């Protein structure tokens, strides 16, 4: 794969291509000399190595390659990359590692860098950062996504503050992708049957260190025009378009993996968009082993992991049954051997409810071997949301765990900060975090040094913000005076607050604007002013979000703001990086619990920025101690509570944030601020990295999932069939279960329980009888197993007995029965059966 860096022209140009094509490399001011040399301006404006390389002529490149310094630079970077890729990985060090051969990771979007604009925001950020972390940890991930021809929309804000959604075309020659080839060197091009039509899906791949991202594309001239446009706009189009996109991603994606020679043990769904992949996985297992859909699902299910990202049921993708019938009816009947009602039932809470839409998250849960949310609080919220799929199960037992998101430090930490905190790091160590130990480095750094770094970072942000604003104004045809005055109200010494996010109403982007006079007083304080940088896109269909943007625009245009609030247009990865690296304070004001995790606030941590946020998502578990500031009371409220949150927001800014920043000691250092900075950096950075998240995923889900999948397939090919049978029989006979008498002998230290149970056609070994008491005073619920009393007569009720702790009154306990471990199925995820005494 890798080329030994030689020094002739062909070698050097091959190296350049490899370097340009590896999205895991972080190009920084310390190591981007190659691209600066080739085309300084193009590099500065786009930071896209593929574009630079494909723009320079062969003859000009040849001349460059004759320059010894240039060759040396390329060779050094190449060697650094090879060192990183060849280094022993974290996974290799785990004894269980061989069990995990391959993980397929599905996501609608990926934010990997400027040279691959196929993302919208947070979801793509999580996917991109995790893919980079997986490469570094040696986790064998192959990611699957879509090569969006236009990506997500680009934002223009006009003189009236109206947002315009623009769709520049992504040219494959200007992106870090190459055609996906099969083992014979042929371009991978699949056909997929869609409503009486065979459509073509072309394959591409992007390289991310040791991992690959396979990308699907329907823009094949052989396709009818509407089909070609399926992979046009990310989150664009109507419900039918979305379903088509998800068919391409899920079903086409699984086929693309197989065509590329990947045989995944684990199928990780990053959100429900790609949930159809689990059907296609089952289909291909059916075909290979000549079994029914139920058996194929039982076999493959432990290898499916579903990560949910939405904290509200309305956020799930749902499709009208008629649409599912049209697009998937034939597939279900002919390929899966499922009737349409049986397929619909997989995506519904109530199988028989004809009007109930088909919910992709429900499909994912029903076909997953494990489900996780993306923060602790989101885990709780998700257990509520999915409770309906586990009728009569107590909410805390709804099988949704959590892995809190994290961010990839090399992607987001400023390289200057990194160089300052790990002076030993080389510029060529271009992959990975170079083991920068932030807590230790911060402990070693003096207050003066830390504050210097902050001042420099803030200054660079102001310079960037001015240039960004000036370019936007020039692009609008503003007057030379207005262009020259862009960002001139900003001052590099002032407390600089950043607020950038999707303008969706739950994010409450206008909370800070709810009392404009009070905000003006903060901005215009004679001694302790703050300044504010705002950015964000509202979805083109979200008119309310666009109005909120317009209000900010109008506010910035008021003379009283003195240019101290700047609205920066087109929030994307580059703008995000500048903002999070430079701000002193990052503000986040979502309505709890709507922010499933959030990641932007994590990005400021390693850069020394502090968070002021609602106790929601990741911040709800991070905000302990002096690490930043919080608003909200830790409870959930509707919009009528916004005024109280706003009041608190202003008060915290006025009484805590501003004084902490401006109160200086004899050396001019803000001691209170620095103390928080140290806490935030040393306590939170290590907890909220993508490395930690991927290690969690690997240890808690990928490795156990791969073993369970192996146990149901290659190790014991008949097992899935037996499990499917047990599952079917239990479901069928479950209603025959009846509790007979339950007798309890109360005692001081323990109560003695004895009960009888009619089990109908179900053999008692399939059942586990338990005494259950709800948790009280923050304690978890109690579940205590009873033992079957031996020697019962055939056909007579089975008797059970046991003793339960006497510290809770007898009335707190209820008897219940669930399928036992002997069934071999995950309960309740695979088999949500339960019966209660009352």
Task: Please report, as residue ranges, which positions from 449 to 478 form the binding site for ligand PLP (by CB under 6 A).
Answer: none
- Contacts (CB under 6 A) with ligand PLP, residues 584-613: 598-600, 603
Name residues contacting ligand PLP, limited to 501-540 (CB under 6 A): 501
The two structure tokens encoding residue 758: 């009619």
CB of 689 to ligand PLP, least distance (A): 14
Q: How far is the CB of 261 from ligand PLP (least distance, A)?
A: 33
Please state the closest distance from residue 587 (CB atom) to ligand PLP, in A. Answer: 11
- Cβ distance 596 to 375 under 8 Å? yes
Closest to ligand PLP by CB, 106 vs 119, is 119
Site for ligand PLP in 145-174 (CB under 6 A): none
Contact by Cβ (8 Å): 803, 753: yes
CB neighbourhood size of 97 (10 A): 17
Report, in Å, the least distance between residue 576 CB and ligand PLP.
3
CB-based contacts of 12, cutoff 8 Å, min separation 6? 5, 6, 65, 71, 74
C-beta of 550 vs 588, nearer to ligand PLP? 588
Asked if 81 is part of the footprint of ligand PLP (rule: CB under 6 A), the reply reads no
Question: What DSSP string runs through 704-723?
Answer: HHHHHHHHHTTS-TTHHHHH
Kindly determine how many residues on this chain lie close enough to bind ligand PLP according to the rule CB under 6 A: 12
CB of 597 to ligand PLP, least distance (A): 8
Q: Which residue, among 205, 4, 235, 212, has the nearest Cα to 109 in the 3D structure?
A: 235
Pick the closer one to ligand PLP by CB: 145 or 764: 145
Residue 457 or 576: the one with the smaller Cβ distance to ligand PLP is: 576
Comparing CB distances to ligand PLP, the nearer of 203 and 236 is: 236
Q: Would you call 376 helix, strand, or coil by DSSP? A: helix
Which alpha helices (DSSP H) does 538-635 contain, by range?
Answer: 543-557, 573-582, 600-605, 617-622
Shorter beta-carbon distance to ligand PLP: residue 56 or 377: 377
Nearer CB in complex with ligand PLP: 218/680: 680
> Across-strand partners of 189?
202
Name the strand (E) or helix (H) holding 33.
Answer: helix 33-46
Q: How many CB atoms lie within 10 A of CB 556?
A: 17
Q: How far is the CB of 127 from ligand PLP (least distance, A)?
A: 12
Which C-beta is closer to ligand PLP: that of 121 or that of 824?
121
Among 117, 121, 203, 632, binds ligand PLP (CB under 6 A): 121
Print the binding letters for residues 714-743 with ligand PLP: x by CB under 6 A, - otherwise.
Answer: ------------------------------
Nearer to ligand PLP, 311 or 598 (CB): 598
Q: How far is the CB of 108 from ligand PLP (least distance, A)?
A: 14
Distance (Å, whole) CA 345 – CA 366: 10
Segment interacting with ligand PLP, rule: CB under 6 A, options 117-125, 314-322, 347-355, 627-635: 117-125
Helix (H, G, I), strand (E, B) or coil at 744: strand
- When the beta carbons of 578 and 816 are compared against ligand PLP, the nearer one is 578
8 A C-beta contact, residue 91 and residue 139: yes
Q: What is the C-alpha to C-alpha distance for residues 834 and 397, in angstroms, rounded to an integer?
A: 12
Report the nearest approach of ligand PLP to the CB of residue 144 (Å): 21
Minimum distance, C-beta of residue 582 to ligand PLP, in the bound complex (Å)? 14
Q: How many CA atoms lie within 13 A of 448 on its CB side?
A: 3
Site for ligand PLP in 38-77 (CB under 6 A): none
> Looking at 5, 21, 122, 819, which residue binds ligand PLP (CB under 6 A)?
122
Pick from 50, 89, 125, 630 the residue near ligand PLP by CB under 6 A: 125
Q: Where are the alpha helices (DSSP H) in 47-168?
A: 49-55, 58-65, 68-86, 122-137
Site residues for ligand PLP, 402-441, by CB under 6 A, read none
Angstrom distances, CA of residue 60 to CA of 19, 317, 594 = 19, 50, 53
C-alpha closest to that of 141 among 693, 602, 597, 603:
693
Residue with tokens 């978890």: 780
Are the C-beta atoms of residues 561 and 523 closer than 8 Å to each other? yes
Angle (CA) 391 392 393, round 5°: 95
Between the CA of residue 88 and those of 4, 67, 434, 454, what are the distances in Å? 19, 34, 14, 35
Rule CB under 6 A: is residue 828 a binding residue for ligand PLP?
no
Q: Contact 202/189 with Cβ under 8 angstroms?
A: yes
Closest CB to ligand PLP among residues 113, 121? 121
Rank residues 327 and 571 by Cβ distance to ligand PLP and give the closer one: 571
For the bound state, the minimum distance from the C-beta of residue 190 to ligand PLP, rounded and expressed in Å, comes to: 31
Choosing from 571, 673, 688, 813, the residue that interacts with ligand PLP (CB under 6 A) is 571
Handedness of CA 85, 86, 91, 97 (dihedral sign): positive
Contacts of 261 (CB under 8 A, 6+ apart): 182, 183
Residues for the chain: how many in total? 838
Compute the least distance from the CB of residue 125 to ligand PLP, in Å. 4
Q: Which is nearer to ligand PLP, 571 or 701 (CB)?
A: 571
* Distance separating alpha carbons of residues 602 and 621, to the nearest angstrom: 12
Query: What minimum distance in Å lies between the beta carbon of 128 and ligand PLP?
Result: 10
Q: Provide the H-helix boundaries in 713-773.
A: 719-733
Which residues in 696-714 are b (16+ Cβ under 10 Å) and which e? bbbebbbbbbbbbbbebbe
Residue 798 CA to residue 768 CA, distance in Å, equals 12
Min dist. Cβ of residue 540 to ligand PLP (A): 16
In this chain, which of 572, 584, 616, 691 binds ligand PLP, going by CB under 6 A? 572
Measured distance CA(89)–CA(84) in Å, rounded: 9
Angstrom distance (rounded) from CA 512 to CA 535: 14
Nearer to ligand PLP, 111 or 825 (CB): 111
| Min separation Cβ 611 and ligand PLP, Å | 11
Contact 579, 621 (CB under 8 A): no
- For the CB of residue 126, give the shortest distance to ligand PLP in the complex, in Å: 8
Stretch that binds ligand PLP, among 187-195, 291-299, 571-579, 634-642 (CB under 6 A): 571-579
Q: Confirm or reject binding of residue 576 to ligand PLP (CB under 6 A).
A: yes
CB of 321 to ligand PLP, least distance (A): 32
Q: Which span sits near ligand PLP by CB under 6 A: 102-110, 119-127, 306-314, 450-458?
A: 119-127
The smaller minimum CB distance to ligand PLP, of residues 156 and 491, is found at 156
Per CB under 6 A, contacts with ligand PLP among 479-508 are 501
Task: Please select the residue that binds ligand PLP; options are 147, 194, 573, 610, rule is CB under 6 A.
Answer: 573
Binding to ligand PLP in span 183-202, by CB under 6 A: none
Q: Identify which of residues 441 and 685 has a Cβ nearer to ligand PLP in the complex.
A: 685
Closest Cα partner for 283 from 296, 273, 274, 299? 296
Complex with ligand PLP: residue 599 or 727, whichever CB lies closer: 599
Residues that bind ligand PLP (CB under 6 A): 121-122, 125, 501, 571-573, 576, 598-600, 603
């Amino acid at each position: 794969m890798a080329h030994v860096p030689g020094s002739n022209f062909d070698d050097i140009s091959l190296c350049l291509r490899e370097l340009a094509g590896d999205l895991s490399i972080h190009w920084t001011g310390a190591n981007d000399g190659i691209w600066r040399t080739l085309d300084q301006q193009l590099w500065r404006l786009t930071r896209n190595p593929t574009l630079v390389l494909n723009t320079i002529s062969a003859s000009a490149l040849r001349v460059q390659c004759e320059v010894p310094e240039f060759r040396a630079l390329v060779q050094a970077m190449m060697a650094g990359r090879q060192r990183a890729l060849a280094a022993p990985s974290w996974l290799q060090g785990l004894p269980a590692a061989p069990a995990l051969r391959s993980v397929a990771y599905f996501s609608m979007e990926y934010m990997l860098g400027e040279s691959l604009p196929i993302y919208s925001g947070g979801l793509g950020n999580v996917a991109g950062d995790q893919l980079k972390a997986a490469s570094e940890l040696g986790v064998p991930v192959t990611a699957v996504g879509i090569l969006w021809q236009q990506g997500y929309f680009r934002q223009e804000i006009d003189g009236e503050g109206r947002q315009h959604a623009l769709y520049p075309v992504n040219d494959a020659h200007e992106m870090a992708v190459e055609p996906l080839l099969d083992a014979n060197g042929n371009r991978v091009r699949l056909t997929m049957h869609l409503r009486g039509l065979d459509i073509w899906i072309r394959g591409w791949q992007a390289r991310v260190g040791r991992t690959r991202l396979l990308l699907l594309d329907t823009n094949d001239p052989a396709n009818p025009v509407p089909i070609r446009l399926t992979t046009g706009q990310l989150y664009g189009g109507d419900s039918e378009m979305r379903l088509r996109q998800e068919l391409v991603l899920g079903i086409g994606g699984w086929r693309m993996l197989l065509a590329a020679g990947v045989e995944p043990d684990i199928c990780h769904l990053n959100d429900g968009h790609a949930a159809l992949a689990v059907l296609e996985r089952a289909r291909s297992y059916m075909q290979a082993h000549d079994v029914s859909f139920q058996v194929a699902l039982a076999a493959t299910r432990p290898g499916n992991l579903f990560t949910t990202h939405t904290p509200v049921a309305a956020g799930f993708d749902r499709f009208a049954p008629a649409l599912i019938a049209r697009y998937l009816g034939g597939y279900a009947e002919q390929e899966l051997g499922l009737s349409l009602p049986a397929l619909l039932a997989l995506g519904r809470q109530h199988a028989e409810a004809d009007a109930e839409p088909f919910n992709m998250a429900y499909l994912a849960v029903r076909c997953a071997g494990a489900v996780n949310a993306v923060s602790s609080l989101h885990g709780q919220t998700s257990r509520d949301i999915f409770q309906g799929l586990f009728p009569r199960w107590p909410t805390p037992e709804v099988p949704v765990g959590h892995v809190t998101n994290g961010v990839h430090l090399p992607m987001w930490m400023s390289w200057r900060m990194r160089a300052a905190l790990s002076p030993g790091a080389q510029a060529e160590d271009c992959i990975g975090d170079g083991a920068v130990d932030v807590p230790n480095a911060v402990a070693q750094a003096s207050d003066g040094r830390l504050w210097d770094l902050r001042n420099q970072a803030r200054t660079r942000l102001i310079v960037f913000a001015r240039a960004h604003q000036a370019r936007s104004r020039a692009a609008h045809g503003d007057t030379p005076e207005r262009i020259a005055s862009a960002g001139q109200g900003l001052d590099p010494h002032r407390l600089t607050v950043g607020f950038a996010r999707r303008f969706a109403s739950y994010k409450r982007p206008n909370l800070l604007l709810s009392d404009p006079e009070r905000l003006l007083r903060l901005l215009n304080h004679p001694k302790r002013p703050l300044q504010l940088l705002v950015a964000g896109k509202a979805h083109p269909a979200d008119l309310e979000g666009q109005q909120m943007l317009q209000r900010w625009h109008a506010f910035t245009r008021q003379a009283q703001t003195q240019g101290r609030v700047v609205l920066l247009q087109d929030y994307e990865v580059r703008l995000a990086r500048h903002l999070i690296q430079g701000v002193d304070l990052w503000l986040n004001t979502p309505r709890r619990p709507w922010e499933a995790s959030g990641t932007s606030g994590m990005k400021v941590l390693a850069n020394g920025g502090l968070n002021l946020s609602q106790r929601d998502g990741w911040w709800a578990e991070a905000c302990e101690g002096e690490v930043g500031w919080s608003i909200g009371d830790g409870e959930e409220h509707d919009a009528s509570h916004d005024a109280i949150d706003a009041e608190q927001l202003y008060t915290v800014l006025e009484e805590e944030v501003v004084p902490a920043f401006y109160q200086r000691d004899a050396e001019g250092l803000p001691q209170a601020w620095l103390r928080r900075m140290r806490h935030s950096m040393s306590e939170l950075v290590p907890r909220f990295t993508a490395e930690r998240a991927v290690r969690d995923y690997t240890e808690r889900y990928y490795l156990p999932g791969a073993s369970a999948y192996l146990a149901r397939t290659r190790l014991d090919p008949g097992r899935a069939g037996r499990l499917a049978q047990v599952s079917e029989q239990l479901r069928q006979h479950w209603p025959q279960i009846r509790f007979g008498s339950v007798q309890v002998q109360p005692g001081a230290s323990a109560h003695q329980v004895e009960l009888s149970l009619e089990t109908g056609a179900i053999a008692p070994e399939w059942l586990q009888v338990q005494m259950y008491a709800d948790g009280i005073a923050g304690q978890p619920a109690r579940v205590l197993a009873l033992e079957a009393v031996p020697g019962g007569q055939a056909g007579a009720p089975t008797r059970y007995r046991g003793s339960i702790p006497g510290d809770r009154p007898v009335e707190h306990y209820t008897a219940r029965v669930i399928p036992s471990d002997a069934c071999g199925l995950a309960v309740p995820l695979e088999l949500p059966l339960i019966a209660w005494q009352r």
